[in-house]
């Protein structure tokens, strides 16, 4: 990566992954109930596929980028879901802030992000 910032493929790949994973996490977490027309497992698959495509474009290392993207996508959705369950049990009835869900998504995506930075980005 150059010192000037992200390349075009890094920008496009990053946005593809972030948008697809975020939408899947919000829908499957119940924050966009009108859009929740698919089973939970399908939202996991869509998040994994979106993450795989986005991270593969980001890294241009198709094998390791795809693996990292699947782990990031599925992990983020599962992390948001786990956070919603834990938070609802601890603070029943309190409203959720959508930015608060980034904590669960970030923790869920952490294994994939570690794989991305330590394995997929090697030259």
- Tens-digit pLDDT profile for residues 61-92: 899 999 999 999 999 999 999 998 998 888 88
pLDDT at 1 over 50: no
pLDDT in tens, 14-67: 999 999 999 999 899 888 889 989 999 999 999 999 999 999 999 988 999 999
Q: What is the pLDDT of residue 55?
A: 94
Rounded to 5 degrees, φ, ψ at 55 are: -75, -35
Q: What is the pLDDT of residue 39?
A: 94
pLDDT at 4 over 80: no
**How many CB atoms are located within 10 Å of the residue 58 CB?**
25
pLDDT at 96 over 80: no
Q: List the structure tokens of 53.
A: 């495509």
In the three-class reduction of DSSP (H, G, I as helix; E, B as strand; rest coil), residue 92 is classed as: coil
Q: CA–CA separation, 32 vs 116, rounded Å? A: 29
CA angle 94, 101, 73 (to 5 degrees): 150
């Amino acid at each position: 990566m150059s010192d000037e910032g992200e390349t075009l493929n890094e920008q496009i790949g990053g946005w593809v992954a972030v948008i697809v994973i975020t939408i899947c996490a919000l829908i499957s977490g119940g924050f966009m109930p009108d859009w929740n027309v698919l089973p939970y497992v399908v939202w996991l698959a869509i998040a994994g596929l979106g993450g795989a495509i986005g991270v593969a474009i980001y890294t241009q290392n198709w094998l390791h980028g795809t693996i990292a993207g699947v782990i990031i996508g599925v992990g983020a959705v599962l992390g948001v879901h786990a956070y919603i369950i834990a938070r609802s049990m601890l603070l029943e009835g309190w409203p959720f802030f959508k930015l608060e869900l980034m904590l669960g998504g970030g923790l869920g995506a952490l294994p994939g992000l570690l794989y991305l930075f330590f394995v997929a980005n090697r030259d």
